[in-house]
Structure 1
Amino acid sequence: MPTTVSDPADPRLADYVSLTDVALRRRLEPEGGLYVAESEKVIRRALAAGHRPRSFLMAERWLTDLADVVEDAEAAGVPVLVGDHDVIERLTGFHLHRGALASMHRPVLPSLAETLEGARRVLVLEDVVDHTNVGAVFRSAAALGIDAVLVTPRCADPLYRRAVRVSMGTVFQVPWTRVDPWPGGVAALQELGFHVAALALSDDSVGLDELAADPPQRLALVLGTEGDGLARRTLAAVDTVVRIPMAGGVDSLNVAAAGAVAAWALRAPAHPEG
């Protein structure tokens, strides 16, 4: 049976404390081997991807919508905690209106070679620190046929609650891992047969249409951090610098929007009919 909780200091609720405190969660979640999934859809996608729950926290009204999840959790001995909205709000720092929360075991990230096996189109996020942008990139990657996403050591955590929510759970769908060191990882990608292109403004850049006219078989497209863009060492290491032609006096797009445009233009051709 679900367990009713009323005291925000209850130790069983420790995984959910101060979910809005980004600095705290950046330390607590990776070091504690956990991440927090928010909303019924995201929880279901995490479970479908094989991720293991540590516990669930929800208001009573959601026990019906998540009845099958609750039943499976109870059979596996996973705590299902139920509380009033005001208790949950005091605990987490926000009003729980998306159904439920789940504390999930953080999966072990695969190696670079495992992540890229069979991949033809890859996005690399260099030091993208905004969780909303990271989530948006993953959602575009899933929608536009990107085979994998790589994140550099200083990039925001794709499993942070906001990134997961913005991605609509597609962080569980698109294979991803961290590439470390960086930009030394450019050479590792090249050794795996990838043409590495950087999306940036530079004097030697080629237009997106030009690269799309004769696309490489395997392509890794590097997207830079908000504001500063890509590091000089990265631009020096890649095979091609590519730009999206702009109109209307606009010099650049948000990183997630730029990644979506480039992913669509450079999508892998369909395999020939056998």
Structure 2
Amino acid sequence: MIDQLTHQETSFQKRKFPIILLLDNITSEANLGSMFRLADAFGVEKIVFCGSEPNLQSNRLKRTARNTFKTVQFEFFEDSVKTIKNLKTEGYKNIAIEITSSSNPIGSFSLNEDEKLVLIAGNERHGISAEVLNLCDELYHIEMFGENSSMNVAQSVGIALYEITKAFNKFHKK
């Protein structure tokens, strides 16, 4: 018989990666709750909310986050552009998950061992602003095979974080 494991029974090693998740004006409380869970699941350093401050009293956010909003570090800044520029001066490489004329498939993502990253995701309806995209060092998209050319922002962040942490883990398995 196969038993489903509880959180305490898994053998997953807890790790923090040098990744900041910057959310450029994401407003859906369900998506924000999902971002907390994804940040926790993938060992993200912290979440930076820009543009719209999250309502941490929202029942929808709390239900979706499942208490990770209490354990994941986060900050809020109004200005995405200024925040990204500040993080760049701190040595962070800025990458975005957005379909653009010059983006590469996220499966091709690679990094150097000592890199620190800011993963930028954009508004549910309008994506990442052009001004923010122009500040990015690299742009990535998720290859899609259906009729639609976009997916939910939380789903895309989950896929991107999977690929990014997979790249970081290559250095730790040597």
- For this structure pair, what is the TM-score category when the shorter chain's length is used for normalisation? 0.7 to 0.9
The 1:271–1:120 alpha-carbon spacing in structure 2 relative to 1, beyond 3 Å, is same
| Larger RCO of the pair (alpha carbons < 8 Å, separation 6+) | 2
Distance in 1 (CA, whole Å) between partners of 2:169 and 2:56 is 28
SS for the counterpart of 1:222 is strand
Matched, 1:229 2:127: yes
Residue 126 of structure 1 is matched in structure 2 by 24
Structure 1 gaps, min length 5: 1-117
Give, in angstroms, the shift of residue 257 of structure 1: 0.6
Distance in 1 (CA, whole Å) between partners of 2:116 and 2:100 is 23
Query: What letter corresponds to residue 214 of structure 1 in structure 2?
Result: L
Choose from 146, 157, 160 the match for 1:259: 157
The 1:170–1:222 alpha-carbon spacing in structure 2 relative to 1, beyond 3 Å, is same
Are the aligned partners of 2:23 and 2:49 in contact in 1 as well (CA < 8 Å)?
A: yes
Query: What letter corresponds to residue 89 of structure 2 in structure 1?
Result: E
Choose from 64, 69, 72 the match for 1:166: 64
Give, in angstroms, the shift of residue 209 of structure 1: 1.6
Residue 87 of structure 2 is matched in structure 1 by 189
Structure 2 gaps, min length 5: 1-15
Give, in angstroms, the shift of residue 207 of structure 1: 1.5
Distance in 2 (CA, whole Å) between partners of 1:142 and 1:248 is 30
The alignment-based identity, stated in percent, is 21
SS for the counterpart of 1:266 is helix
Are the aligned partners of 2:88 and 2:94 in contact in 1 as well (CA < 8 Å)?
A: yes
Give, in angstroms, the shift of residue 156 of structure 1: 3.0
Distance in 2 (CA, whole Å) between partners of 1:221 and 1:163 is 21
Structure 1 runs of 4+ aligned residues shifted over 4 Å read: 270-273
Give, in angstroms, the shift of residue 159 of structure 1: 4.5
State the TM-score, normalizing by the size of structure 1. Answer: 0.53
Task: Give RMSD over aligned pairs.
Answer: 2.2
Matched, 1:137 2:26: no
Give, in angstroms, the shift of residue 155 of structure 1: 4.2
Query: What letter corresponds to residue 188 of structure 1 in structure 2?
Result: N
Distance in 1 (CA, whole Å) between partners of 2:17 and 2:158 is 18
Distance in 2 (CA, whole Å) between partners of 1:137 and 1:242 is 18
The 1:215–1:137 alpha-carbon spacing in structure 2 relative to 1, beyond 3 Å, is farther
Give, in angstroms, the shift of residue 271 of structure 1: 6.4
Instruction: Report 1:58-207 matches (<5 A).
Output: 120-207=18-105
Residue 3 of structure 2 is matched in structure 1 by none
Are the aligned partners of 2:52 and 2:78 in contact in 1 as well (CA < 8 Å)?
A: no
Are the aligned partners of 1:134 and 1:158 in contact in 2 as well (CA < 8 Å)?
A: no
Are the aligned partners of 2:106 and 2:141 in contact in 1 as well (CA < 8 Å)?
A: yes
SS for the counterpart of 1:269 is helix
Are the aligned partners of 2:29 and 2:61 in contact in 1 as well (CA < 8 Å)?
A: yes
Distance in 2 (CA, whole Å) between partners of 1:236 and 1:133 is 24
Query: What letter corresponds to residue 242 of structure 1 in structure 2?
Result: Y
Are the aligned partners of 1:124 and 1:150 in contact in 2 as well (CA < 8 Å)?
A: yes
SS for the counterpart of 1:137 is helix
Would you say how many aligned residue pairs link Structure 1 and Structure 2? 156
Are the aligned partners of 2:122 and 2:128 in contact in 1 as well (CA < 8 Å)?
A: yes
Residue 250 of structure 1 is matched in structure 2 by 148
Distance in 2 (CA, whole Å) between partners of 1:155 and 1:259 is 19
Matched, 1:269 2:169: yes
Distance in 1 (CA, whole Å) between partners of 2:106 and 2:112 is 10
